[in-house]
Amino acid sequence: MRRLVLVTAVALGSLLLTGCSQIGSLTPVGGAALTSVRNATYDVLVQEQVSILEAPVCESTDAGFTCTGSTTDGEAIVATAGSTSPYPLTIMIDERVLFDGTATEVLEAAVLEAS
């Protein structure tokens, strides 16, 4: 009986610690605009089947937003967006333009596709 209690306690403790290690990977809430740009960037990268090594991390800048990451081939992913809706968005893989449009149009297309 004691062995069962010990095994259960160790298993439960392991599960709890696993959950704690995943807390650090959660994306912080940065506001609606930053979230829109980040989500649109991710949507385009997935739609274009870009192999991502480091998912782009987005930050506010004086001009709007910049998201940077990398591909599995070592190429830089750089997304830049304006600070006002519809958030003009350009996503580049090294020097190649992957997307040039707005974050709003990407998100609207995703909503239509999901419905």
- pLDDT tens across 77-100, in order? 999 999 999 999 999 999 999 999
Alpha carbon distance 95, 114 (integer Å): 32
Helix and strand numbers (H, E) in the chain are: 3, 5
Mean pLDDT of the chain: 82
- Rg for the chain (alpha carbons), in Å? 19
Residue 115 in tokens: 């419905």
What's the pLDDT score for residue 2?
Answer: 55
Alpha carbon distance 57, 69 (integer Å): 6
Structure-model confidence comparison of residues 15 and 94, the more confident one: 94
All structural domains of the chain with their residue ranges: 32-114
Average pLDDT over residues 58-78: 97
What is the largest distance, in Å, between two alpha-carbon atoms of the chain? 64
Alpha carbon distance 19, 101 (integer Å): 38
Tell me what percent of the chain is helix, strand and coil, each rounded to the nearest 5: 45, 30, 25
Average pLDDT over residues 56-81: 97
pTM for the model: 0.72
Model confidence at 52: pLDDT above 90: yes
CB neighbourhood size of 43 (10 A): 17
